[in-house]
Amino acid sequence: MNLTDLKALEERYLMHTYRRAPVEFVRGEGALLWDSEGKEHLDFLGGISVCSVGHCNPDVVEAVRDQAGRLMHTSNLFYTEPMVRLAERLAESSLGGRVFFSNSGAEANECAIKIARKHAHRRGVEAPEIVSFDRDFHGRTYGALAATPRLAADPALGPMLPGFRAAPFDDAAALREAVGESTAAVLIEPIQGESGVYPLSDETLLAARKACDEVGALLILDEIQTGMGRTGSLWAYEQTPVRPDVFTSAKALGGGMPIGACVTTPEAGEVLEPGDHGSTFAGGPVACAAALAVLDIVDDPGLLRRVRELGAGLREGLLALDGVVEVRGRGLMLGVGLEAGVDAAAVAADLLDRGLVVNVPEPGTIRLLPPLTVESDQVERAVATIGTALISYAA
Ligand code: PLP
């Protein structure tokens, strides 16, 4: 089937919720993708921070093949070893408490929201509130959506869940003001990803931690995009002065298999009890086997150091280009701010023509989320391609 036929079928049979680029990818290896016309692309989007160990990483493929050939699903009514081993690995690499598995990032946040509300009720709070930042993105299910102020403001999708409140981004004083006796949790991204790669300052993170501690609320960090080594540490919070009570992971966790996790401290891990939460597919052996293989690769000080070094080199190379005014982010999660008036969407389309895959999370910003295993000559190639494309757009 050629691309024209695919487009026609997609137009007819899929709900019109996505704007897709005019390309069909058929194969991937490492940081490279090939389209249906045989053209090679360098993937600096990594399936939106999912393919962090590269496309079709042989260890992940082997783990999936092996597990799929033995046992794919039993439900959570029974024990399976990959799930238990993965929970141990996630807990021991972070907060030391417990894990609830999900199938996506939004669902991991649903679990965190449920923990926060129940935890608040135990404190005697009747109408618990979750505080997030303007322009945060936590997902599309109704709980996660309610914590995503920009999307929750759409009246066509209402009514929203009650009990959510937004504070201006990175405003420590406003956050302190928003947190009170009825606050169940502050749910925030350590680096906003979908809204354009905006890191939260240490000052605001410390203010959030302190405000939560004062009222007995939980600090929940959404590490769905920042986690699993993306910023140069296994979890982004490790490079900040705070430790959350709960964090959520998904995206890169399964190396392409759908899986999410809500990870807690020992105390927060005691909140949910039998019957409080569940999922048919979550924690399935194939997704967990994939995630264990991914962790074997990314939970490695050498790889994490390399992410920081490659990220620093990428940032330096980008900042030297005409048309680039700033580079935000950490490790290999970078937002490239373009000169005023440069049409980032047109640049991204041009880059796709030139065989470099990126995306545009907001007007004026190009987002780069390459595989963490990207080669240094591929980083140089990406910078050169962006530089060449920008020549025709920059003033
Ligand atoms: N939270 C953050 C920070 C995200 O970047 C995303 C997805 O982009 C989500 C939550 C939602 O994850 P999912 O699309 O897997 O539901």
CB of 261 closer than 6 angstroms to any ligand 1 atom? no
So what's the pLDDT on residue 131? Answer: 98
pLDDT for res 139 = 98
* Mean local confidence (pLDDT), 224-235: 98
Is 90 exceeded by the pLDDT of residue 69? Answer: yes
The answer, yes or no, to whether residue 395 has pLDDT greater than 80, is: no
Q: Ligand 1 centroid vs 113 CA: distance in angstroms?
A: 14
Task: Look at strands 333-338 and 356-357 and give their pairing.
Answer: unpaired
DSSP state of 257: B
**Ligand 1 nearest atom to the CA of residue 223, by list position:** 3
Gap from CA of 143 to ligand 1 centroid (Å) = 13
Minimum CA distance residue for ligand 1 atom 13: 105
The response to whether residue 102 sits with its C-beta less than 6 Å from ligand 1 reads no
Q: Is 63 in the pocket of ligand 1 (CB under 6 A)?
A: no
How does DSSP classify residue 265?
-
- Ligand 1 contact via 183 beta carbon (within 6 Å): no
Dump pLDDT digits (tens) for 242-265: 999 999 999 999 999 999 999 999
- Is 106's C-beta closer than 6 angstroms to any atom of ligand 1? yes
Beta bridge partners of 185: 130, 218
Residue owning tokens 């701010």: 337
The CB of 49 under 6 Å from ligand 1? The reply is: no
- Tell which atom from ligand 1 comes closest to the C-alpha of 107: 16
- Please indicate whether residue 224, judged by its CB atom, sits closer than 6 Å to ligand 1: yes
Residue 102 near residue 108, CB atoms below 8 Å: yes
Most ligand 1 atoms within 8 A of CB, residue of 50, 111, 135, 138 to mutate:
138
pLDDT tens digit string along 1-25?
Answer: 999 999 999 999 999 999 999 999 9
State residue 166's pLDDT score: 98
Q: 365 has which bridge partners?
A: 337, 362
Mean pLDDT of 334-358: 97
Long-range interactions of 263-267: CB distance < 8 A, separation 24+: 263/90, 263/91, 263/94, 263/95, 263/97, 263/98, 263/99, 264/95, 264/97, 264/98, 264/99, 264/115, 265/95, 265/96, 265/97, 266/95, 266/96, 266/97, 266/98, 267/97
What is the residue with the minimal CA distance to atom 12 of ligand 1?
105
Per residue in 71-122, pLDDT tens?
A: 999 999 999 999 999 999 999 999 999 999 999 999 999 999 999 999 999 9
Percentage of the chain surpassing pLDDT 90?
A: 99
pLDDT tens, position by position, 300-314: 999 999 999 999 999
- Local confidence band at 392 (pLDDT 50, 70, 90 cut-offs): confident
Which pLDDT score is estimated for 198? 98
Q: What is the Å distance from ligand 1's center to 44 Cα?
A: 18
Do residues 230 and 332 lie in contact, with contact meaning Cβ atoms separated by under 8 Å? Answer: yes
Summarised one tens digit per residue, pLDDT across range 138-190 is 999 999 999 999 999 999 999 999 999 999 999 999 999 999 999 999 999 99
β-bridge partners, 43: 357
- Report cis status (omega within 30 of 0) of the bond before 159: yes
Burial of 108 (0-12, 13-18, 19+ CB in 10 A): buried
State how far the Cα of 158 lies from the Cα of 283, in Å rounded to an integer: 31
- Taking only the tens place, the pLDDT of each residue in 18-46 is 999 999 999 999 999 999 999 999 999 99
* Residue range(s) of every CATH 3.90.1150.10 domain in the chain: 3-57+301-390
What would the two tokens of residue 243 be?
């430790």
Rounded percentage of the chain residues whose pLDDT exceeds 70: 99
Which CATH architecture does the domain made up of 71-298 adopt?
3-Layer(aba) Sandwich (3.40)
Q: Is 80 exceeded by the pLDDT of residue 369?
A: yes
CB 218 within 8 Å of CB 245? yes
How confident is the model at residue 109, as a pLDDT?
98
138 lines ligand 1 (CB under 6 A): yes
How far apart CA 252 and CA 307 sit, in angstroms, is 14
Interval between CA 108 and ligand 1 midpoint (Å): 9
Please state the atom number of ligand 1 nearest to the C-alpha of residue 192: 3
The rounded Å distance from CA 234 to ligand 1 centre is 18
DSSP string covering 136-148: ----SSHHHHHT-
Phi and psi at 40, nearest 5°, equal -90, 135
Rounded to whole angstroms, the Cα distance separating 59 from 65 reads 10
Distance CA 395, CA 391 (A): 8
Ligand 1, closest atom to CA 140?
Answer: 16
pLDDT tens digits for range 192-210: 999 999 999 999 999 999 9
Domain with CATH 3.40.640.10 in the chain: 71-298
Distance 174 CA to ligand 1 centre (A): 25
Atom of ligand 1 nearest to the CA of 144: 10
Q: What backbone phi and psi angles, to 5 degrees, belong to 371?
A: -55, 145
Distance 104 CA to ligand 1 centre (A): 8
The amino acid sitting at 291 is A
pTM over 0.75: yes
Spatial neighbors of 254 by CB under 8 A, at least 6 apart, are 50, 287, 290, 291, 294
CATH 3.40.50.300 corresponds to the domain 3-57+301-390 = no
Higher-confidence residue of 392 and 300: namely: 300
- Tell whether the model's pLDDT for residue 394 goes beyond 80: no
d(CA 285, CA 70): 10
Phi, psi of 185, deg, nearest 5: -165, 155
| Alpha carbon of 106 to ligand 1 centroid (Å) | 6
**Average pLDDT for the chain:** 98
Q: Ligand 1 pocket, 223 CB below 6 A?
A: no
By alpha-carbon position, which residue is closest to atom 1 of ligand 1?
A: 138
Alpha-helical (H) ranges within the chain are 3-13, 46-49, 58-70, 81-92, 105-122, 142-146, 149-152, 172-178, 202-215, 285-298, 301-319, 344-353, 376-391
Ligand 1 centre distance from Cα of residue 372 (Å)? 19
Nearest to 54 by CA among 375, 285, 357, 348: 375
Whether residue 198 has its Cβ less than 6 Å from ligand 1? no
Q: How confident is the model at residue 222 (pLDDT cuts 50, 70, 90)?
A: very high
Task: Say if ligand 1 is within 6 A of residue 197 CB.
Answer: no
Q: Say yes or no: CB of residue 105 within 6 Å of ligand 1.
A: yes
